[in-house]
Homo-oligomer: A and B are copies of this chain.
Amino acid sequence: MAVKNVMTEDYLRSSYGGESMAHMRYLTWADMADDEKVPNIGRLFRAIAYAELVHANNHFKVLEDKKNDYTVTAGAVFGRGTTVENLQGAINGELHEVEQMYPAYLQVAEFQDEKEAKRSFHFALEAEKIHAALFKDAQDAAKEGEDLKMDSVHVCPICGHTVLDEAPEKCPICGAKKEVYKSF
């Protein structure tokens, strides 16, 4: 994989930084959800942490021949609060990516004809839309003092597509088969 233009290259690094920090805070907030006795919300955080790792790895792969040290600037949400508060932080982060960050990065990648970057940004953007909605459902439950109603969570290891209860026969974002989904 490769990238030719420095603007797209910078956006890939920034996205990698954002996804890496999202991965870490979701693991932290997963443990806090377990402590609050809402283990399904904990599992949702862990599953989505894995989806962010998939996104980070996709961006990292597009940059594979840029072997060097860089200074990365990226957005991140901080704070350890109640699970309702942590979910609000998660929703804010996902909505920023859905409404601002990835659409702008995708626009530039298209303009610069960066095929690999477009694919990587597109996978992330589509998955983050679902993440925002799932975190909202989890927060609605947590606000009522309840856990999220679900049997399991499934994540596509190619694009980060995330779905409750049962994986689809074919990933709606990247076309991967049901068998490759990782379950939580």
Contacts and interface: CB of A to CB of B under 8 A. Distances in A.
Interface of A: 13, 16-17, 19-21, 23-25, 27-28, 53, 56-57, 60-61, 63-81, 85, 89, 92-93, 96
Contacts of A65: 79
Given A17-B76, A61-B80, A67 B85 contact: yes
Nearest to A21: B20
A133 B79 CA distance: 33
Given A72-B17, A73-B71, A66 B79 contact: yes
Contacts of A53: 24, 27
B85 A76 contact: no
14 contacts: A13-B78, A17-B20, A23-B23, A25-B60, A60-B78, A61-B80, A63-B79, A64-B80, A67-B89, A69-B93, A71-B73, A72-B74, A72-B75, A73-B73
A81 B96 CA distance: 33
Contacts of A19: 24
A89 to B, nearest CB: 7
A17 B25 CA distance: 11
A29 to B, nearest CB: 10
Contacts of A60: 24-25, 28, 78, 80
